Structure 1
Amino acid sequence: MYFVLMCKDKPDSLELRMATRPPHVEYLKDLEARGILKTAGPLLGDDEKPVGSLWIIKAADKQEAEALAAGDPYAKAGLFASVEIRAFNWTFKNPEA
C-alpha cells in the first residue's frame, strides 16, 4: 500500500533543516534502495525556501509508515511541527502499475 507523508517544519527552522540534511538524505537513499521510497522532496514557501517535506512510500500498513517517518533524522532532530500520513491510491503515472 502507498502512503503520502506531509511533514511541516516548525517556524524559523531552516538552519536546523540544513544542518540535518546530510543524514536525512542518506536515510532516504537507503529507503529508496530497499524499494520503500518512491519519491520525495521539500515543500516550498512563497519565498521558495523549504518549509517541509513530502514523501510517497510503499509500506505494509500505516504503523509501518509511521515508524519510517519517525526514523527520519529530521523527525529525530525535532524539525517538524506536524506529520500527516495518509493512504494513497497512486492512479496516474504509477511506474509500478
Structure 2
Amino acid sequence: MLFAVICNDKPGHLDLRMATRPPHVDWLNGLNAAGVLKIGGPFLDGDGKPCGSMLILKAETLEAAKAIAAEDPYAKAGLFATVEIRPYNWVFNNPEG
C-alpha cells in the first residue's frame, strides 16, 4: 500500500533543513534502493525556498509508514511543525500501474 507523508517545516528553520539535508538525502537514497520511496521532494515557499516535504512511501500498514517517516533525519532533528500520513492511491502516471 502507498502512503503520502506531508510535512510542513517550522517557520524560520531553513538553516536546520540545510544542515540536515545530507543525512536526509542519504536516508532517502536507502529507501529508494529498497523500493520503499516512490516519490519525494520539497514544498517551496513564495521565494522558491524549501518549506516542507512530500514523500510517497510503500509500506504494509499505516503504522509501518509512520515508523519509516519517524526515521527521517529531518523529523529526528525537529524540523517539522506538522506531519500527516495518509493512504494514497496512485491512479494516473503510475509506472507500476
Aligned residues: 97
User: How far apart, in 1, do the equivalents of 2:45 and 2:64 lie?
Assistant: 29
CA RMSD of aligned residues (A): 0.5
Give the TM-score of the pair, scaled to structure 2.
0.98
Match of 2:35?
A: 35
Amino acid at match of 2:15: E
User: How far apart, in 2, do the equivalents of 1:87 and 1:39 lie?
Assistant: 14
Match of 2:17?
A: 17
Q: CA deviation at 1:90?
A: 0.6
User: How far apart, in 2, do the equivalents of 1:96 and 1:68 lie?
Assistant: 21
Match of 1:60?
A: 60
Is 1:70 aligned to residue 53 of structure 2? no
Q: CA deviation at 1:47?
A: 0.9
| SS of match in other structure, 2:12 | coil
User: How far apart, in 2, do the equivalents of 1:18 and 1:72 lie?
Assistant: 14
* Structure 1: segments with no counterpart, 5+ residues: none
Cα deviation digits, residues 65-90 of structure 1 (max 9, x gap): 10011000000000000000010011
Amino acid at match of 2:22: P
Amino acid at match of 1:27: W
